[in-house]
Amino acid sequence: MRVWFPLVTLIILKRYLKINRSGDGIKGGSGADYLVKKNTFMKTSPSKLAVTPKMYETENDISKSSRLELSALLNLRLASLVDLQTQMKQAHWNVKGPSFIGLHELFDKVAEEVEDYVDLVAERIVQLGGIAEGTLRVASSRTRLPEYPLEIAEGMAHVEAVARALSTFGREARNTIDEVNALDDADTADLFTEISRGIDKWLWFVEAHSQATK
């Protein structure tokens, strides 16, 4: 019995699980199905996340079709703003060199104002009946900003990286003004005019550190 039982058990297991001898793993059985489904889920790319189409009912007189487009567009801009805020904090934490104090404080002020822009855009989405989608995972899959270099330390390297991020979003903001005007949303156009003006101000403050006459 001590020999016979494990042998029989092994035969039954092999027949049930249908072990694939080619090296591809176990096929068949509910356990294998679960592994396949789990693998498929884990490999789903965050970049494939879609903008949520759900809209809440509202008395806002902008047409629902326009509000749908506005919500999708503003969620894309929200993603870039969330990314921009974290990039400013990355610069604030890691800048080094002779201009440390000035740049450390400047980058923090930029991050604080960008945080205000995040709130303004997210609240505008909700005002239109949409859902503000501002988690870091969603933002990372939708942002239009270039990746911030993590290895840099010297002040002027951060000035260059921060200026690039600000100018990239500044261009997005100006494009958004035209896009929302085409959807008859003057209020959102006004909002992005304010944001664009603020981004240009901070771009000026940052670039001034690299524009001194030599």
pLDDT in tens, 15-27: 444 434 434 433 3
Q: Give this prediction's pTM.
A: 0.75
Both structure tokens of 20: 């694939």
Asked if residue 133 has pLDDT above 70, the reply is yes
Is 90 exceeded by the pLDDT of residue 84? yes
pLDDT band (50, 70, 90) for residue 13: very low
How much is the pLDDT for 37?
Answer: 35
Left if phi > 0, otherwise alpha if psi is -120 to 50, otherwise beta: which for 54? beta
In whole angstroms, how far apart are CA 12 and each of 9, 18, 19, 29, 117?
5, 10, 11, 13, 64
Q: What is the mean pLDDT of the chain?
A: 82
In a 13 Å sphere around the CA of 197, the CA atoms on its Cβ side amount to: 6
pLDDT tens sequence across 151-175: 999 999 999 999 999 999 999 999 9
Q: Is residue 124 packed enough to be buried (19+ CB in 10 Å), middle (13-18) or exposed (0-12)?
A: buried
Q: Which residues pair with 26 in a beta bridge?
A: 19
- Which has more confidence, 11 or 139? 139
pLDDT of residue 128: 96
Write out pLDDT tens, residues 87-100. Answer: 999 999 999 999 99
